[in-house]
Amino acid sequence: MPRGGAREGSGRKPKADEQRLIEALDSTLDKEKVLHSLADLVQKGNFSAIKLWLEYRYGKPKDHIYERAEEEHIELPPWLRRLEIEYVDNTTDPPP
């Protein structure tokens, strides 16, 4: 069986479907609570939340696909040199 090509249900969903989903989410979720929950996760060190926040706040970095023949020294901006992220492991139970 050949692969690829158009298939039933493939591709991007219509804009109207996306708008209906947005309206359904807006009617059931309190936007302020969602934002506060995201902020709490960022402050607790949740990597996925931090990544999401950074991408929406500063924009997703451009993808660079290339091979480097040798390591390059990259000077980090001062604000990034001071960035501290504490890892919090929420998967284990606290000691009794």
* pLDDT tens by residue, 34-62: 999 999 999 999 999 999 999 988 888 87
The domain of 28 spans 15-81
Residue type, 41: L
What share of the chain in percent tops pLDDT 90? Answer: 33
**In the block, which residue shows the tokens 């936007």?**
31
Question: Quick one: which of 53, 48, 42 has its CA closest to 86?
Answer: 42
- 45 located within any domain: yes
d(CA 33, CA 39): 10
Highest mean pLDDT range out of 57-66, 69-78, 81-90? 57-66
Our count of domains for the chain comes to 1
- 89 located within any domain: no
Segment 19-29, tens digit of pLDDT: 999 899 999 99
- 9 located within any domain: no
Q: Is the pTM of this model over 0.75?
A: no
The DSSP line for 27-93 is HHS-HHHHHHHHHHHHHHT-HHHHHHHHHHHH-PPPP-----SS----PPPHHHHT--------SSP
